[in-house]
């Protein structure tokens, strides 16, 4: 069964944003505190986007 386009797009966004978040987390330990303070708001924003993707995905599969 082929994945509907909307789900496919959400899956892509989920993968993309999770990958960025993981890469940013790996970088954190090497960044000086000032740069960490700049990165953390972006990471929080990304996390919220991931939550939005998951919530939309959940809604779509519940609607069938």
- The residue ranges that bind another protein (CB under 8 A) are 12-13, 15-17, 19-24, 26-27, 31, 35, 38-39, 42-43, 45-46
Min. distance of Cβ 64 from another protein in angstroms? 22
Closer residue to another protein in complex, CB, 7/24 = 24
DSSP label at 31?
S
Q: 3 near 11, Cβ under 8 Å?
A: yes
Compute the distance between CA of residue 59 and CA of residue 64 in angstroms, rounded to an integer: 9
């Amino acid at each position: 069964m082929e994945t509907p386009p909307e789900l496919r797009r959400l899956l892509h966004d989920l993968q993309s944003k999770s990958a960025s978040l993981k890469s940013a987390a790996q970088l954190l330990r090497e960044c000086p505190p000032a740069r960490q303070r700049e990165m953390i708001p972006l990471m929080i924003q990304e996390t919220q986007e991931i939550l939005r993707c998951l919530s939309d995905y959940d809604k779509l599969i519940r609607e069938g």
